Structure 1
């Protein structure tokens, strides 16, 4: 039975329902003109081939006419869908999302290349810049309030009787073994600088690899040209090798010279003393310490964790994600899935970033000149006031920052491509 007479005989509510049904049928048949014609004639839907009939001669107006179902113009038997008069309040269903995800690449590129209209609001993710700034301001106020609460609570704990007794019993550090060396040698200063240098570039390239979608160049080893990685990933892995080599030399010299006793706990008193140091830091009445002789227990635990926990985790997870790992070792891959490595590698990088921020802030806030002389100039004394006005360490530290900034700027394809070609083949876009 034809659709048109039925629509005309419906009531107001039924007319709206019939129009919706007719529009749905028209949209479904839009991709198949033959099916649309068959439905209009009231017959069964054909199997994809239009019924035979007279064909218009080429070049005639009838031959050039585009069917309504293909041109997108609503036909007389399918009324146009009325426009929405209220904002959409629901998200599309799963089918709509999957259809959008599998849309043509050309359409996505055109949408991405279309510049925003003048005066249009450019959103950052799902939020506008004003909303982002407002949210940042609100979070900043809450963070300051939280810091204030922590400071007041720490001062209250250290002011009461049990807090004072705990502070007297555990001042924040414990004596080192009698054989522990005093002072920081020059090799440790150099290793500290190289560790900072490599780690800065490793974090930069790791973040670049994580966010890069269209690498500017690719590197392949000469022995296996089918294996291809991005130039940023090659630089990241090359820095990893240098960082690991520096770390191996550092750990070996630590145990050869006895410096390990300064960062490896040698007594269970390290834990209550670390809590005491944390309370003193939180109360803003920071513990008096002289890193030339001994670190406080919180420093010792932090340096131990960064050297013997975080660094090995970064290495083991990085090796699993690299091309060094055997791809065909099924049993080994089941024991150590690549998903575990991904879940460990990125949080470890975040731990390094947090450690660097806190470490640098405390170095500068607890006697910058004295601490920089210890770390960069190998100059110090058992007297904590010595070298507290000597600028030597500060000048060396400033020079190291210049070197790091120059390496950061130079880490681009124009500089990296000639270096990468020494170790393999490079192809640029």
Structure 2
């Protein structure tokens, strides 16, 4: 491959993007380490070590349902990102899917034809949405919501303190079994109650289920706006996954994996093996998103045509 071909490649931006990002990261680390030598900054960290106080009734530990929900949400969001990227990059659809116009779903207008990639993306979205509603219900029913919803203003200075501690590579002492640090709390809150609903609302606006006959609503909420929001939200989820996985392994992998997958607070390998099994299933799902396997599955719910 010559220089001209390299420059035309979709991966060419990484030639300068990755070194640039590493240089910025190094500067941020040096700046944070310098700031931590200042007495006012040290006093600020001492006053706000990184955790916002929880009420006495806050639950300790993680119930088993939260481990299952963690796996299901991880599995579905990875496949949703994968199928969404297929929609964005596929120039020639491998097949089309048309809903069966019968029974309770029978309408006067003929069903819309969508690509196979759109079908799997929307199907995964539907499952993710139902699972998300169940997840939120369980959060509030069991009191776990108090760990991912800010309930006092000191969460913000504590989050700033945690960010500074992370950036300086002198990390805060954490005990996620009892209480997340404030930066985790805010990031989980944004992911659950902001990013996920935005993904669902914008995805619905872009789906065939949204009618062109809703003139007034379409003027208020144009599809162009949904597209401008939907893709950045997907990028947010990608960034969240990268940072989340990195911190899980960098801040005590075995204990963190036990919290997330085994509902126990120790250094055993139980959570790791649950995680390894979930990773195998996620990889299998990723590989399975191909036309040869999707066609027979899609044909169970509609007509598949070339």
Structures share a fold, TM > 0.5? yes
Give yes or no for contact 2:100–2:111 (8 Å, CA) kept in 1. no
Provide the secondary structure at the position in 1 that maps to 2:5.
Answer: coil
Cα distance in 2 for partners of 1:337, 1:128 equals 30
Aligned match of 1:397: 275
Aligned match of 1:211: 89
Provide the secondary structure at the position in 2 that maps to 1:303.
Answer: helix
Aligned match of 1:123: 5
Provide the secondary structure at the position in 2 that maps to 1:284.
Answer: coil
Aligned match of 2:292: 414
Change (3 A) 1:225 1:416: farther
Gaps of 5+ in 1: 1-118, 381-386
Aligned match of 2:245: 360
In the alignment, is residue 260 of structure 1 matched against residue 142 of structure 2? no
* Aligned pairs for 1:368-387 within 5 A: 368-380=253-265, 387=266
Root-mean-square deviation (CA, aligned residues, Å) is 1.8
Provide the secondary structure at the position in 2 that maps to 1:267.
Answer: coil
1:91-115, Cα deviation, whole Å (9 max, x unpaired): xxxxxxxxxxxxxxxxxxxxxxxxx
In the alignment, is residue 290 of structure 1 matched against residue 175 of structure 2? yes
* Aligned pairs for 1:87-236 within 5 A: 123-124=5-6, 126=8, 132=12, 136=14, 138-223=16-101, 225=110, 227-236=112-121
Cα distance in 2 for partners of 1:327, 1:200 equals 30
Give yes or no for contact 1:190–1:376 (8 Å, CA) kept in 2. yes
Provide the secondary structure at the position in 1 that maps to 2:296.
Answer: helix
Change (3 A) 1:275 1:185: same
1:35-74, Cα deviation, whole Å (9 max, x unpaired): xxxxxxxxxxxxxxxxxxxxxxxxxxxxxxxxxxxxxxxx
Give yes or no for contact 1:221–1:425 (8 Å, CA) kept in 2. yes
Q: TM-score, normalised by structure 2?
A: 0.93
* 1:146 Cα deviation after fit: 2.2
* 1:142 Cα deviation after fit: 3.6
Change (3 A) 1:158 1:416: same
Aligned match of 1:105: none
Who wins on radius of gyration, i.e. which is larger?
1
Change (3 A) 1:127 1:355: closer
1:182-218, Cα deviation, whole Å (9 max, x unpaired): 0000000001100000000100000100111111110
Residues matched between the structures, number: 299
In the alignment, is residue 279 of structure 1 matched against residue 157 of structure 2? no
* 1:157 Cα deviation after fit: 1.4
Match of 1:301 among 182, 186, 209: 186
Cα distance in 2 for partners of 1:236, 1:379 equals 34
Cα distance in 1 for partners of 2:290, 2:16 equals 37
* 1:125 Cα deviation after fit: 5.5
Q: Which has the higher helix share?
A: 2
* 1:303 Cα deviation after fit: 0.1
Q: Which has the higher contact order (CA 8 A, sep 6+)?
A: 2
Cα distance in 2 for partners of 1:364, 1:231 equals 36
Cα distance in 1 for partners of 2:2, 2:33 equals 51
* Aligned pairs for 1:36-47 within 5 A: none
Change (3 A) 1:366 1:424: same
1:284-339, Cα deviation, whole Å (9 max, x unpaired): 01111111100000000000000000000000000000011121111110010111
Change (3 A) 1:127 1:137: closer
Q: TM-score, normalised by structure 1?
A: 0.67
Provide the secondary structure at the position in 2 that maps to 1:220.
Answer: strand
Gaps of 5+ in 2: 102-108
